[in-house]
Amino acid sequence: MDIKGGFCLKGRKAMVTGSGQGLGKAFALALAGAGADVSIVDINMDKAQLTASEIVLTGAKAVAIKADISDPGESRKAVEETIRSLGRLDIAVNNAGVSPPISDSVDITAETWDKTMGVNLRGLFFCAQAEAKAMMPNKYGKIINIASICGHIVWPKFQAVYSISKAGVIHLTRCLAVEWAPHGIRVNSISPGVTMTPDLFPDVPPVFLRKAPLGKTANVRDIAGAVLYLSSPESDFMVGQDMVLDGGYTLL
Ligand X SMILES: NC(=O)c1ccc[n+]([C@@H]2O[C@H](COP(=O)([O-])OP(=O)(O)OC[C@H]3O[C@@H](n4cnc5c(N)ncnc54)[C@H](O)[C@@H]3O)[C@@H](O)[C@H]2O)c1
Closest approach of ligand X to the CB of residue 124, in Å: 8
**Residues 24/96, Cβ–Cβ less than 8 Å:** yes
- The question of whether 162 is a catalytic residue gets the answer yes
Q: Within the chain, where are the H helices?
A: 22-33, 45-57, 72-86, 110-117, 124-135, 160-180, 204-209, 220-231
* Closer residue to ligand X, CB minimum distance, 2 or 199: 199
Strand, helix or coil at 195?
strand
CB of 176 to ligand X, least distance (A): 17
Q: How far is the CB of 216 from ligand X (least distance, A)?
A: 13
List contacts with ligand X (CB under 6 A). Answer: 17-18, 20-24, 42-44, 47, 67-70, 95-99, 119, 123, 146, 148, 192, 194-195, 197-200
Whole-number minimum distance, CB 208 to ligand X, in Å?
8
Distance CA 186, CA 182 (A): 9
- Out of 140, 162, 229, 249, pick the active-site residue: 162
DSSP conformational letter for 164: H
Report the helix count and the strand count for the chain, using DSSP H and E.
8, 7
Nearer to ligand X, 35 or 205 (CB): 205
Torsion angle, CA of 114/78/193/184, rounded to 10 degrees? 110
Nearer Cβ to ligand X, position 60 or 144? 144
Active site (catalytic) residues: 162
